[in-house]
């Protein structure tokens, strides 16, 4: 992972004589999709017995259900609609819903198919305050639908003053490189090819000095493991432990 990202960030993007790649890498999603693609592979390797009933990876998951029928217009069905939210990484399960005015579902049936998220992760290259606040709002929506779900923010570089997640619905923020983003003054020098040539040694050293941290990925896998082990409490186990 570290080798691949060093190749992508340094050899492909930073060393490009054309400024387009460096300036537009965020819009082109050259680097920020790597983590999204890596996490399902990591989970599959770490948990070879991962349940085949669950889906891994980027998914559009259930956010809310609403009905567009009205009392003044005769409708054969409630006209159920679902609002969904795209998530960078999920552990989810496909769900099927039916809605009808007929208790036997013999006519006027709206059939809906959507994924229900049990763990969501927002993946960011650089996490700033605005992104954090947006993720907090999304986490609240996720846990309104599934109170037992987990919501993580996973970033490479921190670009904000750390704040407590205790007052939010975010379970944890994971900083994969355990480092802050390079300062704006330094980054501005890299906007031109000449500036990148002059600053290549500095940038290469910064990447090498702050690789992806294994223990942070292990902490992510701990969240996954606890989620998979979460089951309804058994009376005998509860009495042996003394709590539930």
- Using the predicted structure, report yes or no on whether residue 213 has a pLDDT greater than 90: yes
pLDDT band at 175 (very low <50, low <70, confident <90, very high): very high
Mean pLDDT of the chain: 93
pLDDT exceeds 80 at position 232? no
Asked if pLDDT for residue 10 goes beyond 70, the answer is: yes
- pLDDT of 48-58, one tens digit each? 999 999 999 99
Judged against a pLDDT cut of 80, whether residue 65 lies above it is answered with yes
Q: How confident is the model at residue 233 (pLDDT cuts 50, 70, 90)?
A: low
Tell me if 126 sits within 8 A of 156, measured CB to CB.
Answer: yes
Q: Calculate the CA 135 to chain-centre distance.
A: 9
- In the block, which residue shows the tokens 């999204």? 36
Average pLDDT over residues 85-89: 96
> For the chain, what's the residue count?
244
pLDDT at residue 127 above 90? yes
Q: DSSP per residue over the chain, as a string?
A: -HHHHHIIIIIIIIT-SSHHHHHHHHHHTSSTTHHHHHHHHHHHHH-TT--TTSEEEEEEEEEEEEE---TTS--SS--EEEEEEEEEEEEEEEEEEEEESSTT--SSEEEEEEEEEEEEEEEEEEE-HHHHHHHHHHHHHHHHH-TT-EEEEEEEEE-S----STTSS--EEEEEEEEEPPPHHHHHGGGSHHHHHHHHHHHHHHHHHSPPPHHHHHHHHHHHHHHHH--PPPHHHHHHHT--
Which of 19-28, 70-79, 85-94 is the most confident on average? 85-94
Give the pair of three-digit tokens for residue 43: 């989970």
pLDDT for 106 equals 93
Confidence band of 27 (pLDDT split at 50, 70, 90)? confident
The model carries a pTM of: 0.90
Token pair for 234: 């058994």
CA dist list (Å): 193 to 21, 31, 185, 201: 11, 19, 16, 14
Euclidean distance between CA atoms 135 and 169, whole angstroms: 9
Quick one: how far is CA 133 from the chain centroid? 14
């Amino acid at each position: 992972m570290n080798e691949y990202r060093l190749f992508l960030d340094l050899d492909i993007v930073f060393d490009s004589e054309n400024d387009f790649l460096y300036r537009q890498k965020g819009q082109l999603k050259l680097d920020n999709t790597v983590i999204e693609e890596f996490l399902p592979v990591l989970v599959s390797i770490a948990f070879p017995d991962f349940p085949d009933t669950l889906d891994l990876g980027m998914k559009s998951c259930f956010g809310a259900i609403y009905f567009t029928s009205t009392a003044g217009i005769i409708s054969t069905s409630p006209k159920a609609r679902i609002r969904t939210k795209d998530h960078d990484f999920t552990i989810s399960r496909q769900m099927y819903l039916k809605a009808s005015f007929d208790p036997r579902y013999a006519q006027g049936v709206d059939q809906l198919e959507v994924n229900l998220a049990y763990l969501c992760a927002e993946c960011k290259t650089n996490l700033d305050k605005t992104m954090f606040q947006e993720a907090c709002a999304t986490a609240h929506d996720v846990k309104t639908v599934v109170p037992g779900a987990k919501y993580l923010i996973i970033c490479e570089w921190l670009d904000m003053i750390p704040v407590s997640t205790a007052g939010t619905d975010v379970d944890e923020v994971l900083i994969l490189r355990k480092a802050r983003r390079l300062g704006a003054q330094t980054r501005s020098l890299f906007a031109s090819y000449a500036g990148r040539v002059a600053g290549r040694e500095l940038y290469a050293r910064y990447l090498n000095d702050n690789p992806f941290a294994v223990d942070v990925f292990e902490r992510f896998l701990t969240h996954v493991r606890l989620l998979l082990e979460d089951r309804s409490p058994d009376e005998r186990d509860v009495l042996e432990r003394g709590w539930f």
